[in-house]
Amino acid sequence: MKKIGFIDYFLDEWHAEKYPGWIDSATGGEMKVAYAYGKIDKPGGLGNAEWCEKKGIELLPSIEAVIEKSDYLIVLSPDYPEYHEELSKLPLQSGKPTYIDKTFAPDRKTALLLFEWAAKSGTPMYSSSALRFASEYAGLDKEGIQTICSTGPGKFANYSIHQIEPIVALMGSDVKRVMFTGTDHSPALLIGYADGRQATVNHFGNGTSFGMIVDYATGNAKSIKIASDFFGAFIQSLVAFFETGKAVVDLADTVAIITIIEYGLKAAQTPYQWLELPDA
């Protein structure tokens, strides 16, 4: 049995709660989350020791201890990417396959730094929104896409990745500029590609489904609503990554996604004006 170690800001959060059971089920018990480290106890929630006791996972006192005892590593902190640099530095120097949860980094500079650490040490790593693996997106023809109109719930800061990740997976990473067109209540971002293609990200209230309309150069369009088990498909890809050490998402995609999010937040300060992205 291969053992997985969690490294988190605090352990009492939704991804840490769900991943152990999903991984155990997907591998028939051949991979298990066995160890965990949390930087702090969750304010107003379960402490790390209580959480680990409930889950049957061994709490360790340091990131170093988790790395030493684990075969594979998962850096979580999904809603606090500002801690990923601190939490990921040692894992990315370990040589052990490491998955870093969404959102990968708070900005482009940090994203490039994390990839640099992994490359220097030969550590297999990747990051992704689970939405990338929805079967509805996989069934779309990428050829000839001219425009995408994407919709979903949540706040832009931590949920826009769930729309931007599929857009980049379908249209590519050669994004040149962004423009904020929404409001504080309903954020929206226009994404401009080098060749003139465009995509829009639209955030609405709770109860909004993830989905998109894809318009093709042929004049045809396709409308999809995400209803598939994308988390199940993501876990299968994660298991395959641990088994093979081969990243399933191109680093150029991940850097582009983080850059779009970073500059999308900046663009919100000057709505209806294009903001140019840095060159690749």
What pLDDT, on the 0 to 100 scale, is given for residue 132? Answer: 96
CATH number where 266 lies: 3.30.360.10
What pLDDT, on the 0 to 100 scale, is given for residue 142? Answer: 96
Q: Summarize the confidence of residues 67-86 as an average pLDDT.
A: 97
Q: Let me know if residue 234 belongs to a domain.
A: no
DSSP count for the chain of H helices, then E strands: 10, 13
What pLDDT, on the 0 to 100 scale, is given for residue 168? Answer: 97
How far apart CA 141 and CA 151 sit, in angstroms, is: 19
Q: Let me know if residue 254 belongs to a domain.
A: no
Q: Is 248:241 a contact under the CB 8 Å cutoff?
A: yes
Are 140 and 267 part of one and the same domain? yes
Question: Is 0.85 surpassed by the pTM of this model?
Answer: yes
Are 123 and 9 part of one and the same domain? yes
Q: Summarize the confidence of residues 142-167 as an average pLDDT.
A: 96
Give the count of domains, the chain.
Answer: 2
What pLDDT, on the 0 to 100 scale, is given for residue 187? Answer: 96
Distances from the Cα of 185 to the Cαs of 57, 155, 231, 251, 267, in angstroms?
40, 9, 27, 32, 16
Tally of residues, the chain: 280
CATH number where 36 lies: 3.40.50.720
Are 114 and 11 part of one and the same domain? yes
| Strand partners of residue 38 | 8
Other CB atoms within 10 Å distance of the CB of residue 30: 12
Q: Let me know if residue 243 belongs to a domain.
A: no
242 phi-psi bin (left φ>0, alpha ψ -120 to 50, beta other): alpha
How far apart CA 19 and CA 84 sit, in angstroms, is: 18
Mean pLDDT rounded to a whole number for the chain: 96
For residue 280, pLDDT over 80 is answered with: no
**Parallel/antiparallel/unpaired status of strands 221-225 and 211-216:** antiparallel
Give the tens place of pLDDT for each residue, 167-211. Answer: 999 999 999 999 999 998 999 999 999 999 999 999 999 889 999
Domain of residue 80: give its range: 2-127
What pLDDT, on the 0 to 100 scale, is given for residue 264? Answer: 97
